[in-house]
Amino acid sequence: MRHEVQVRLIKQLETHLDAGTNVDAGGLMLNPTRVYVDPELAEREWNEFFVHHPQIVGLSGDLAAPGSFMTIDDLGVPILTTRDNEGRFRAFVNACRHRGAVVENRERGDDATSFSCPFHNWTYSLEGTLIGLTKGDHFGDVDTSCRGLVELPAAERHGILWIHPDPAGTIDVDALLGDELSDEFESWNFDSLRYLGGDTYDVACNWKLAMDTFGETYHFPVLHSKSLNLTFHGNVQCYDTFGRNHRMLLCRREIDDMLKLPENEWRVTTAGLPAYWLFPNVQLLPSEFGAFLVRAYPTPGQTGRHVSRISFYVWPGTEAGSSAETAVRTISEMFASIIRDEDYVVAASQQRSANAGSLEHVLFGRNEPALHHYHSTYRAALGMPPLPLLDDHDVA
Ligand code: FES
Ligand SMILES: [Fe+2]
């Protein structure tokens, strides 16, 4: 983030802290609880936001060098992503062109020279080309040049990896991010982040409830009274939208001392924790040490269930502790103790009440603008009527 933007945001936090105020969405919003349980809506979301929408699947550091690969099984089609011999990010349908077996079954690796199908050992290059057809003299005279893995659209920009699960789909990164966010991401140098490790939470809540937990700091002094609230000021944040995406800036308590320093020494990652919400299902949180990437995926056929995939990254030169393994364990335990064991426990309880159908609506406050924006955004994307902004006294 450019330094002038950092200073502007930090001054906003300072103003809120001094005045005891927070961002104000300009009104309240009633959100129907059925959006968390409606199977017809879930199916539309699945088709519009996942199967037929570009997907962020990681950061450049996930595929550090030629031979690195990741498999993805959250989007209805088995996907294999690689860094090819020329360093290019590629994505393929992870299905063998012989009889469709999944070719690569490991979640990730960094030393592949090719991919061999476990069924009859047809072998594909990092570029997806069929380079080995077992017993070709017995099998038949197949034109191997036509039997490579089906390639999927893939794009890498600002250190972020996008794929499209549909071979005929397109990825327009400029349109997905917009100029302002593209410019901001350019200055973060996310491409230098090193992948450290990851975790998966399978939670009995709708994927949007998982996203909602990242949408305000109003709950910090209560739900996180013994965790995040010790290092963050709750009830204060900066908030900006970028088309369908947005950025919250959470406020660290370290801001109190940092504000005594000259402005040219101010750092947004000391004063706060930026949380980028990238439509439709991603949270990207860069910090002083690295970044967290959270991807939430619906569980098809179960509106009240989702999977969150968490990835941890560190900036180059960051001392990761005694070993990378220890660092991953420490970071993932810390993240799980807050997000999985506090936020997502509440999200699952919200899901239970939504399932019961006894509440027609839930209420988004003036101090929860990210929730207003997010729910308005996906509703607009699905052609659903907007949720009106209500005056305080209009909320029954
Ligand atoms: S299905 Fe892959 S080699 Fe036969
Ligand atoms: Fe939380």
Which tens digits make up the pLDDT trace of 69-127? 999 999 999 999 999 999 999 999 999 999 999 999 999 999 999 999 999 999 999 99
Q: pLDDT value at position 331? A: 85
Quick one: tokens of 49? Answer: 């936001």
Closest ligand 1 atom to the C-alpha of 100? 1
Checking if the pLDDT of 329 tops 80, the result is: no
* Candidate of 93, 99, 104 to mutate for ligand 1, largest count of ligand atoms within 8 Å of Cβ: 99
Q: Is the C-beta atom of 117 inside 6 A of ligand 1?
A: yes
Q: Is the C-beta atom of 102 inside 6 A of ligand 1?
A: no
Contact 220, 232 (CB under 8 A): yes
Instruction: Specify the residue with its C-alpha closest to ligand 1, atom 1.
Output: 99
Of 64, 294, 333, the C-alpha closest to 285 is 294
Superfamily of domain 60-157: Rieske [2Fe-2S] iron-sulphur domain (2.102.10.10)
Which ligand is in closest contact with the Cα of 117?
Answer: 1
Cis preceding linkage at 280, omega within 30: yes
Task: Give percent of the chain with pLDDT exceeding 90.
Answer: 93
Which residues in the chain are classed under CATH 3.90.380.10?
A: 3-52+179-394
- Across the chain, mean pLDDT equals 95
Q: Is the C-beta atom of 96 inside 6 A of ligand 1?
A: yes
**Residue with the two structure tokens 């729910």:** 375
* Candidate of 104, 122, 124, 131 to mutate for ligand 1, largest count of ligand atoms within 8 Å of Cβ: 122
Does residue 308 come out as left (phi exceeding 0), alpha (psi in the -120 to 50 range) or beta?
Answer: beta
pLDDT tens digits along 151-194? 999 999 999 999 999 999 999 999 999 999 999 999 999 999 99
Which ligand is in closest contact with the Cα of 345?
Answer: 2
What band does 392 get if pLDDT is binned at 50, 70 and 90?
A: confident
Q: Is the C-beta atom of 97 inside 6 A of ligand 1?
A: no
Which residues in the chain are classed under CATH 2.102.10.10?
A: 60-157
Checking if the pLDDT of 322 tops 60, the result is: no
Cis preceding linkage at 298, omega within 30: no
Contact 72, 79 (CB under 8 A): yes
Q: pLDDT value at position 330? A: 83
Checking if the pLDDT of 321 tops 60, the result is: no
pLDDT tens digits along 9-28? 999 999 999 999 999 999 99
What band does 394 get if pLDDT is binned at 50, 70 and 90?
A: confident
Closest ligand 1 atom to the C-alpha of 101? 1
What band does 276 get if pLDDT is binned at 50, 70 and 90?
A: very high
Instruction: Specify the residue with its C-alpha closest to ligand 1, atom 4.
Output: 120
Q: pLDDT value at position 319? A: 59
Centre of ligand 1 from the C-alpha of residue 140, in Å = 14
What band does 395 get if pLDDT is binned at 50, 70 and 90?
A: confident
Q: pLDDT value at position 93? A: 98
Average confidence (pLDDT) over 295-315: 96
Average confidence (pLDDT) over 341-368: 97
Residue 52 or 320, more confident? 52
142 vs 137: CA distance, rounded Å: 10
> What backbone torsions phi and psi does residue 120 show, to the nearest 5 degrees?
-130, 15
* Candidate of 80, 94, 98 to mutate for ligand 1, largest count of ligand atoms within 8 Å of Cβ: 98
Checking if the pLDDT of 320 tops 90, the result is: no
Superfamily of domain 3-52+179-394: Naphthalene 1,2-dioxygenase Alpha Subunit; Chain A, domain 1 (3.90.380.10)
Checking if the pLDDT of 328 tops 90, the result is: no
Q: pLDDT value at position 326? A: 75
H or E segment and range at residue 348 = helix 344-356
Closest ligand 1 atom to the C-alpha of 99? 1
